[in-house]
Structure 1
Amino acid sequence: MFSSLGLFQSLPCPYKSSCTRTKCLFSHKPETQSPSYIIAVPDNPTPQQSTSSNVPAKRALPALARPSGLSSPSTSSSLEPPRKLQKIGSSQKPAAVSSAVQVNEGVPVLRVNASLSKVSIPVRQALLKTLYDHFAVLYSVILPTNPTLAAEHALRQEEEIYELSTKLTYRTAVIQCAASLKRRALPDHPSHDSIGTQGDIAARLEARKSITSLRLTRELLEPVLMSMEQLGTWGFMTVTPPGPGGEQPSLEGKIATCERCGQPFQVKRMKEADECIYHWGKPYSTKINGEKTRVYKCCSKQVTDAEGCSRGPHTFYESKPEDLHSRHPFSFLRSSSTPVRTILDIVALDCEMISTTGGSRVARVSVVDGAGKEVFDQLVRMDEGVEVIDYLTRFSGITEEEHAKAILSLESIRKALDSYIDSNTIIIGHALDNDLKTLRIIHHKCVDTAILFPHRAGPPYRRALRDLVREHLGKTIQSGGGTVGHSSLEDAIATLDLVRWYIVNEPKRKPKLKTPLTSSMALPSTSSLSARP
């Protein structure tokens, strides 16, 4: 056995007087002090003492300075395994695309594992900035209201190009994409066709192609037809009101309640009508200084403010079936027992209304077939004795000069529609009960997009047509403003496309409710809450 060199004689023995070695390498002199890096072991260690040690791993005794006799059952269990044996991180490989979840304004920053990227990160970051600059120019009009849109789309566009390119083709693909961004039309709203990455635009085009190529049939629409119970719940007329109808077409000179200001007034024609101060926009809830407040869409004034923001004549709205029937009689569509070659299986219908001395009356009727082709679009002349109070150009798009060209009365319009629709035709519309009421039509085969896409608050609330079109079709309608208004033809086509979208994207539809016809007529309270615009 080799003799000891005495290299550890300056170190005190960890076991001190309890040491059992015959020739201990350490010193047992009482005056020897322990260095600061030696972990002192108690004379009689207990399990509680050994487990309460909170020495960090980085300050553990170095391997060369740890005595061989230090490994005891009470201390070895608390020692960490060697660094090379420890498992660090997860077994999943990091992605080579950006993992940024939240994107702020300005040039986005790639968060990529450099070792997994086939293109160097500085190159990708520089080309990402190029994409961002082009998106910022393209979105210059809408960027103030959507400040992070350019950064989000630049980041996703770079990711799309990276995944579809090789190391050699990546740079060229980014340059070609930047050139294509220059050729896009400047968008003026967030749902414009120029918005999005190349993948987004291609997906939208493919979706539109699948929607427009779909030819609606009775078999496809049968599961989404409204039941008799739904028709009654949503304010549709299901039976003819009593009486001959049409005995009092106008209330001129009578007292009615203004639907704008809620005050009683004497019904007068436009040139003689008294002035009304009102809000044309509907109230909605928002937060002001952290408090929930109801404000008007037209002027953002609080509902508690008494003063309106618009001026115009007093108008009135009627919803009771007997009142509507007394202005102009209701009737069912012509029976399908008489065959007519021009009768269509499916149509989409939309109307524009104006305010008259006979209440809200139809001023324009538009009908398209199941393929979206226009088959009927006519202005409606008011009945004898009914005078216009307000053309509602902001919403209807109808001006006094345009309406003066109307030739057909409502009765003539009904006869003309008999050439295209009958009692067996499926009629599609949005808030269709309003259109059928103003046309004085009672019909039971209806598909209403306000029911297919329900409001989160449930009946009788309905989502606006323009919001559904923007959300599901990526298009903007009813954007004419205060002097142009809506187009019933555009709305009819948009409603048809919404049903196509629903058929394509909602294969799992709820079963139709089958309820027998009851003697009760439509609920009048729901029609006043419908949101057509």
Structure 2
Amino acid sequence: MFPTLGLFNKLACPDSNNCTRPQCLFSHSSTLPPPPPLVPRLPLPSQPPNTATASTSAKSKDALIPTKRPAISSPPANAPPKVFEPPRKLQKVGTLQRPSAIPSSSRTESGVPVLRINAAQSLVPLPVRQTMLKTLYDHFVVLYSSIQSSDSLLASEHALKQEDEIYRKSTKLTYRNAVIQCVGRIKRREQPTSISHPSVGTEDEIAEREQAQKSLESLHLSGELLQPLVHSVKDLESWGYFIDIPPGPGGDQPSHVGKLAKCDRCGQYFQVESHDFKQKCIYHWGKPYTSKVEGQKVRTYTCCSRPVADGEGCSHGPHVFYESKPEELHARHPFSFLSSPEPDKPKLDVVALDCEMIYTTGGMRVARVSIVDGRGKEILDEFIKMDEGVDVIDYNTRFSGITAENLGSALLTLKSIRSTLDSMIDTNTILIGHALDNDLKTLRIIHHRCIDTAILFPHRAGPPYRRSLKDLVREKLGKMIQMGDATEGHSSVEDASSTLDLLRWYILNKQKSAVQSGAAT
């Protein structure tokens, strides 16, 4: 036998003195109180009890035996089936969304943007992402070193967007390597010379632009394709186009020297002079626009941000004048139609045209003309020499990009350029342009087969207001044009090509959606 553990030593033996166990587990000490007497179980009666006994027994059973749970009744035959849902902890309460890198104006003293996200929701530790963001920012700063002056926040904004693109496409394990690979591709990019350069932007933005450009370039604009978009003569006339040659001989008064004219800049009247421009004009070269300052509308100029109410101009230069009446323009240089079609000499069926103008003693005259065909290939780009007796008052370089050196090398006059155009295009050619009526007026051309993107994309205020080509190209094509400063100005080749791409976008998007909606109805 194994020795006892003594667990019952403090309990009195129930048999007390009558215990016959040689080694009892219980205590037989006289100091312990005796155990309670055992209650013997009564035997079951052999005969049925009387009514009183049965009633007492039933009451005792009800008190001792718990009541049974009610039975679940079966559902009706027409009741809908019950949907059994999984436990709450196993139910999907929503899909996991990765927090994005929110662009913020918060930056460190060195210019590094600060990542504004919830650290608990990020799959990659926030310190790691902030370090990778700084790496991307440093390389964007190097890439944009030549254009940083035009937009000081460009590197910061693109670094934030690039980090967000990488994070969304990566996992916790591949994130760091993805950033390193992206940095290597940024190093291999071409140094941009302007904000509209193809290498400016995040990787997704560049890929999206390339794909969109391929779609645009693959669309060849033919006369048959563009015929439904050609404006009617009535529409052209309502938008300020000249549809007939003005009366008179034309070209009999090439210059306005010695006569009074109203300055197109300051509104004062001045005497047009040939060479000695002594009268100085103080003007604003920008346009007035409306903005809200402390809840009040204020009209200010885009050039200097001065209020229109101040009156004082911000720029100095000579007085210039602009003529718009058909008979005045016809007197300076005659209008004419393009050449008639010749079966043995086929001409281009579609061209995009743009001109650059300068101020002269004969009003505003064309100084450069550029033409691209329906595929976007440059066909003509020439500077134009002024006619005899017409002198330049202002080259308007800020907008035209024309300098004295450009016109010094020009060989063709407006008459010669018109002959060159007649050898390329005729009255059946579809001319494309933005505010094309201005270009045709300076070229002294009357034409009825025109597509004007200023009419295709109307201003929300309606005519005569027109949206600028720069804003339309930025909105529809995601490109920046006309970014030259006061010494560079615009490029007529760039404007003509952009107008062509804008028309392609219209055909691929707006016209296609209109056809689809018409077919659906």
Fold equivalence (TM over 0.5): yes
**Where in structure 2 are the equivalents of 1:320-331 lying within 5 Å?**
320-331=325-336
- State the partner residue of 1:161: 169
SS of residue matched to 1:363: strand
Amino acid at match of 2:308: V
In the alignment, structure 2 segments of 5+ residues that lack a partner are 1-58, 60-84, 107-112, 516-521
- State the partner residue of 1:209: 214
**Where in structure 2 are the equivalents of 1:226-265 lying within 5 Å?**
226-265=231-270
Query: In the alignment, is residue 438 of structure 1 matched against residue 438 of structure 2?
Result: no
Amino acid at match of 2:415: E
- State the partner residue of 1:493: 497
Amino acid at match of 1:365: V
**Where in structure 2 are the equivalents of 1:40-119 lying within 5 Å?**
93-98=94-99, 103=104, 105=106, 106-111=113-118
Match of 1:391 among 367, 379, 395: 395
In the alignment of these two chains, the number of paired residues is: 422
Question: Relative to 1, partners in 2 of residues 1:448 and 1:112: Cα closer, same or farther, differing over 3 Å?
Answer: farther
- State the partner residue of 1:370: 374
Question: Relative to 1, partners in 2 of residues 1:296 and 1:207: Cα closer, same or farther, differing over 3 Å?
Answer: same
SS of residue matched to 2:310: coil
Match of 2:469 among 465, 469, 476: 465
- State the partner residue of 1:297: 302
Query: In the alignment, is residue 351 of structure 1 matched against residue 355 of structure 2?
Result: yes
- TM-score between the two structures when normalised by the length of structure 1: 0.71
Amino acid at match of 2:399: F
Query: In the alignment, is residue 149 of structure 1 matched against residue 151 of structure 2?
Result: no
Amino acid at match of 1:107: V
Question: Relative to 1, partners in 2 of residues 1:189 and 1:399: Cα closer, same or farther, differing over 3 Å?
Answer: closer
Query: Which region of structure 1 is more displaced relative to structure 2, 244-253 or 85-94?
Result: 85-94
- State the partner residue of 2:455: 451
SS of residue matched to 2:511: coil
**Where in structure 2 are the equivalents of 1:121-200 lying within 5 Å?**
121-122=124-125, 126-127=128-129, 129-135=131-137, 137-139=139-141, 141=148, 144-145=152-153, 149-150=157-158, 152-162=160-170, 169-185=174-190, 191-200=196-205
Query: Are the equivalent residues in 2 in contact too, given 1:131–1:178 (CA < 8 A)?
Result: no
Using the alignment, how far apart are the partners of 1:344 and 1:413 within structure 2? 16
SS of residue matched to 1:506: helix
Question: Relative to 1, partners in 2 of residues 1:302 and 1:275: Cα closer, same or farther, differing over 3 Å?
Answer: same
Using the alignment, how far apart are the partners of 1:127 and 1:327 within structure 2? 66
Question: Relative to 1, partners in 2 of residues 1:443 and 1:135: Cα closer, same or farther, differing over 3 Å?
Answer: same
SS of residue matched to 1:507: helix
Using the alignment, how far apart are the partners of 1:90 and 1:273 within structure 2? 85
- State the partner residue of 2:418: 414
Question: Relative to 1, partners in 2 of residues 1:398 and 1:274: Cα closer, same or farther, differing over 3 Å?
Answer: same
Query: Are the equivalent residues in 2 in contact too, given 1:394–1:483 (CA < 8 A)?
Result: yes
Question: Relative to 1, partners in 2 of residues 1:254 and 1:311: Cα closer, same or farther, differing over 3 Å?
Answer: same
Question: Relative to 1, partners in 2 of residues 1:273 and 1:257: Cα closer, same or farther, differing over 3 Å?
Answer: same
Q: Structure 1 vs Structure 2: percent identity of aligned residues?
A: 55
Render the CA deviation track for 1:223-277: whole Å, top value 9, x for unaligned: 3222223211211111122222222222110111111110111111243452211
Give the superposition deviation at 1:159.
3.7
SS of residue matched to 1:493: helix
Question: Relative to 1, partners in 2 of residues 1:95 and 1:194: Cα closer, same or farther, differing over 3 Å?
Answer: farther
- State the partner residue of 1:8: none
Question: Relative to 1, partners in 2 of residues 1:386 and 1:104: Cα closer, same or farther, differing over 3 Å?
Answer: closer
Question: Relative to 1, partners in 2 of residues 1:172 and 1:404: Cα closer, same or farther, differing over 3 Å?
Answer: closer
Amino acid at match of 2:98: V
**How well do the aligned residues superpose, as a CA RMSD in angstroms?**
3.2
Amino acid at match of 1:231: L
Give the superposition deviation at 1:368.
1.4
Match of 1:474 among 475, 478, 482: 478
Render the CA deviation track for 1:205-237: whole Å, top value 9, x for unaligned: 111111122211123212322222321121111
Query: Are the equivalent residues in 2 in contact too, given 1:427–1:447 (CA < 8 A)?
Result: yes
Using the alignment, how far apart are the partners of 1:189 and 1:173 within structure 2? 28
Question: Relative to 1, partners in 2 of residues 1:400 and 1:191: Cα closer, same or farther, differing over 3 Å?
Answer: closer
Using the alignment, how far apart are the partners of 2:293 and 2:178 within structure 1? 47
**Where in structure 2 are the equivalents of 1:501-512 lying within 5 Å?**
501-508=505-512
Question: Relative to 1, partners in 2 of residues 1:88 and 1:267: Cα closer, same or farther, differing over 3 Å?
Answer: farther
- TM-score between the two structures when normalised by the length of structure 2: 0.73
